[in-house]
Chain A
Amino acid sequence: MPKALSRLLIGALVGLVVLGVIVFFVGNAWFGLPVGAQGPEQPIAFPHTVHAGSVESGGLGLDCTFCHRNVDKGAAATVPSVQQCMFCHSKVTGEGSTSPTALAEITKLRTAAEQGEPISWVRVHRLPDHVQFVHDVHIRYLMESPDVIVNSTPAIRQDGTVDAAQTCSTCHGQVATMAKVKQVRALKMGDCVDCHRANNAPTDCAACHY
């Protein structure tokens, strides 16, 4: 094979590989979940399955709003403070639990409470700074329009509305079945706008960006 031709072939091959890598990364960024959304390791292995999981599946069946108290009242969902955890965990120490990790993990929490230290939870769902998202208005809308709720079958009340805690799965997925919380929806602008268009919500830029 002449030298020039083999050089050309090698060049083309390298070019193809580089192009492939670029296409992969751009495609991944475009269609995939944001970087770091695949369920980070938390300082305490908090099991949503135990707290929010249904009673039939061995959980406590707590509503999301039981701990994320501000979610239907204001912009931020709020992660409960250590004090709030201690409402129960001052009594629930994990001793005698069937789970092998419960005692160790709950002890981490109780130690933090004793020392008055907060717990540095790793944030899972993060919108960019230039987006202003308000939880309660979205929840209120979904409570009145249960047919928009996805990822779960909400328990519809007599008057056709649902409880606030039934709406969360639309964006957050079935958190109650996640041992480690991860992001299930892309939550990129296209995602927001699709839903806003479908539900006749404002699509003015200044509705969210200011």
Chain B
Amino acid sequence: MVSTPRERKWQMVVDVDRCTGCQACVVACQAENNIPFNSESHFKQGRTFSWIRIERYWEGEFPDVKARFLPFLCQHCDNAPCEPVCPVFATYHNNEGLNVQVYNRCVGTRFCQNNCPYHARFFNYWEPVWPVQMRNSLNPDVTVRGRGIMEKCTFCVQRIRRAELDAKRQEREVRDGDFQPACAQACPTSALVFGDVKDPQSRIHEGLANKRRFRLREELGTEPNVVYLSKVDSEAKEAAGHA
């Protein structure tokens, strides 16, 4: 009998106040998940890949304008709009709260991309190509997606599985801090915190209990599993007369 692991639900807290827009998470994600390079022509066609991206926007009127950054990734919605539209069940919700994309099932209808309100899904329009020097630099734990299928942020499920296997080898449960997704690991200001909400010891609870919490496009009822903490800006508040 295989021991059934403890029930899990993975979530991420993104503290927007800590984000400096440095893009380290973006680079780490591209490297970890075998994401092909985005060339200029890809950008021009609007066919780039970035499982996580930094959305930059401006707040205020010139000259008192401020740059704001918002890390954007698959929200792993509990009530995901992408899932019911897939005709081949290539995307579904698993028992760990992950929105899973099964590459070998996907036939590339792109319905899920169409139905995603966060633009978090990306379609492989071409066979992925890397420079020859990078031939041995791909991550062996992550499938290289071929042409014609969808892909998106997996919450680094390969690291979750690896942590589970390591825990099993040491005959214990997965502990908080055993692993981090590539983006959270790379973040120099620890703006991204990943954890299991079913684990009372997890650091994620600190963020989840924060008053500044909000979720993206909550009005749609998608129940995202990525929680954001809003920007703290005393100057802006004073300027707006809230002091």
Contact = CB atoms under 8 A, between A and B. Distances in A.
Contacts of A129: 143-144
Nearest to B142: A210
B95 to A, nearest CB: 7
Contacts of B1: 145, 199-200
Most buried by B among A129, A132, A137, A205: A205
Interface stretch (B51-59, B76-84, B161-169, B180-188): B161-169
B94 A209 contact: no
Task: Summarize B's interface: helix, strand, loop or mixed.
Answer: loop
Contacts of B157: 206, 210
Nearest to B4: A200
Interface in A130-172: 130, 132, 134, 136-137, 140-141, 145
Contacts of A132: 141, 143, 158, 161
A201 interface: yes
A50 to B, nearest CB: 33
B104 interface: yes
Interface residues of A, number: 20
Contacts of B165: 134, 136-137
B104 A137 contact: no
A147 to B, nearest CB: 12
A117 interface: no
A205 B92 contact: yes
B100 A205 contact: yes
B4 to A, nearest CB: 8
A114 interface: no
A199 B144 CA distance: 30
Contact of B95 (A128, A141, A204): A204
Interface in B97-120: 98, 100, 102-105
Contacts of A134: 165
A209 B168 contact: no
B94 A210 contact: no
Nearest to A136: B169
Contacts of B168: 137, 140
Contact of A204 (B94, B105, B142, B158): B94
Contacts of B4: 200
A206 B144 contact: no
B161 A205 contact: no
Interface in A168-203: 199-202
B2 interface: yes
B124 interface: no
A201 B2 CA distance: 6
A206 B102 CA distance: 7
B143 A141 contact: no
Interface of B: 1-2, 4, 92, 94-96, 98, 100, 102-105, 141-144, 154, 157-158, 161, 165, 168-169
Given A129-B144, A136-B165, 5 more contacts: A132-B158, A145-B1, A199-B2, A205-B100, A210-B143
Interface of A: 128-130, 132, 134, 136-137, 140-141, 145, 199-202, 204-207, 209-210
7 contacts: A199-B1, A199-B2, A202-B2, A205-B94, A206-B98, A209-B143, A210-B100
